[in-house]
A and B are shown apart, each in its own frame.
Chain A
Amino acid sequence: MSALKFSRKQLGIPYAIFLALFVVLPLLLIILYAFTVENSAVITNDVSKFSFSLENFKNFFTQSSNIRAIYISFGLAIVTTAICLVIAYPVAYILARSEMRQKNILLLLIILPMWINFVLRTAAMKELLFKIGFYDSNRLSFLNTLIGMVYDYLPFTILPLYSVLIKLDKNVLEASADLGANDLQTFFKVVVPLSNPGIVSAVTMVLLPTTTSYVISDTLGNGNVTIIGKLIENQFSTMFDWHAGSAIAMILLIIIFITMIFTNKFSDVESENVRGGGLW
């Protein structure tokens, strides 16, 4: 029996080697870089010339602009996620519950933008904000970034919600009505709790990218919005201090890890493949 299974298991070996080289090792390198500094002034990237230091972390936490970037990242991400949910939930609910013949076409129209290049969509939003005059004022930079984030991630919020709501048993809603609940009570006490897995996967799909992906804030923020992802990019691309950049990356990793433990408590193990769920 075990001899028969061997040939399938063997396929795991080259795969495990790839994982070790390009998933595990890179993360270990981040940790190594984060806890070390270069001895010489020039960048050597020679591991033997590194020396242990906590300086990278100290420098990060003593600069108020960095702390501000963390606040901005999470503030923007949380507000974006909330707005996306508030806009997307009714859309998903109406579509899932409707008997409309055009339902499939409407759903298709909603997920169509997901295929268009993300940077291109953000660029299109910039053109629109230019057209309506929002981009001219520096005071609106945060609003512009927020609009862009909601715009980019709205389809990603609608889809997981829809796929949960479509499976909702009609009888449960009728039972709730029979037991004397009005429409509003049924919605908040029956529909919303039952759609929790959809909400959780929508949140995980929006929250993390909006915290770290600096494409939107760079394109729409007119240089006024710096998020944590941008800090890492700055260290790597303009300051060329890979050690400081790795330290920020490691802080981000820890935050992600904590968030994952937190969200895992609420989500089913089976709701995998969130990013592409239902796309193909």
Chain B
Amino acid sequence: MVKKFFKGGYIFLALAFLYAPIFLLIVYSFNLSPDIGVWSEEWGLNLYRDLFTNQDIIQTVVNTLVLALLASTLSTVLGTIGAIGIFYSKQRTNKVLMGITNIPVINAEIVTAVSIALVCTMMAFGRTYASLLIGHIVLCFPFVVLSVIPKLKQLDSNLYEAALDLGATPTKALYSVILPEILPGIFSGFMLAVTLSLDDYIVTTFTKPATFETISTYVYNAYAKGGKSSSAPALRALSTIIFLVIVAVVLIKNFTSKKKENN
């Protein structure tokens, strides 16, 4: 009994540590004080109103989402092509390609970031949306490859040959035999790419055009300057909304996967 109490207590403490900062932001998103730490007598939804009237922040959110969707879609296409190409190539090619694919995973993000900046400058398109997109793709595609390859390993190799024997062209066999089988891997790779792209700060800051901001760079600029807690209180409201959206997404995902298991 005592043991159980300690175990429960320990988990509770760990969770409290993980959620304390987030809950603090949520509470203060309804308080009108400009700085956290100073309670204001006034409570209200002003910060939320600021958020929805602040063109900068709205633009930032749109930028982040569009970039994440674009980069992860392209990474997914590239990663899937790559995974199939790697998996069915000769062992030596396989090893070399796999080794290079792993480089951005192992490498420090700052090194990836500056190296992409260098290559884009050399190719004379400098810091544009293209360089930003390339940076994010390089960040994400290895994880798509790493999610798809295990599915290819599980695939029955006879299926593809059977399709060819039954008269399918190789392209047709690829589309209607291999692709449906590895779809779960492609999907989880895509979701991983979205999370990585949404989360990224370092690659973004080195490859983005000067006036382009994502949530990461915007929040960083508002917070990284010392002295104050934040230069943009409306970000508290934004954090609260992001947190609630994520809770909703995770709950829905969990609920639907439970349903599938029950079936």
Contact = CB atoms under 8 A, between A and B. Distances in A.
Interface residues of A, number: 92
Interface string A254-280: 001000100000000000110110011
Contact of A280 (B104, B192, B223, B242): B192
A4 B229 contact: no
A222 B228 CA distance: 10
B254 to A, nearest CB: 6
Contact of A256 (B17, B108, B115, B121): B108
A118 interface: yes
Interface string B68-83: 0000000000100110
Given A113-B22, A127-B36, A213 B246 contact: no
A30 B161 contact: no
A280 B188 contact: yes
A41 interface: no
Interface stretch (A7-15, A53-61, A173-181, A187-195): A7-15
Interface string B55-99: 000000000000000000000001001101111110001000100
A90 interface: yes
Interface residues of B, number: 93
Interface in A98-119: 98, 104, 106, 108-110, 112-119
A36 interface: no
B87 to A, nearest CB: 8
Nearest to A217: B224
B2 interface: no
Contacts of A110: 14-15, 18
A275 B25 CA distance: 27
Interface in B120-156: 121-122, 134, 137-138, 143, 146-147
A123 interface: yes
A200 interface: no
B202 A213 contact: yes
B22 A236 contact: no
Contact of A215 (B28, B35, B201): B201
B191 A123 contact: no
Given A12-B85, A252-B110, 13 more contacts: A7-B170, A12-B86, A19-B101, A29-B119, A98-B7, A106-B15, A121-B21, A124-B21, A127-B36, A135-B229, A154-B14, A245-B114, A260-B106
Give 3 closest A-B pairs by Cβ, nearest first. Answer: A12-B85, A26-B115, A7-B170
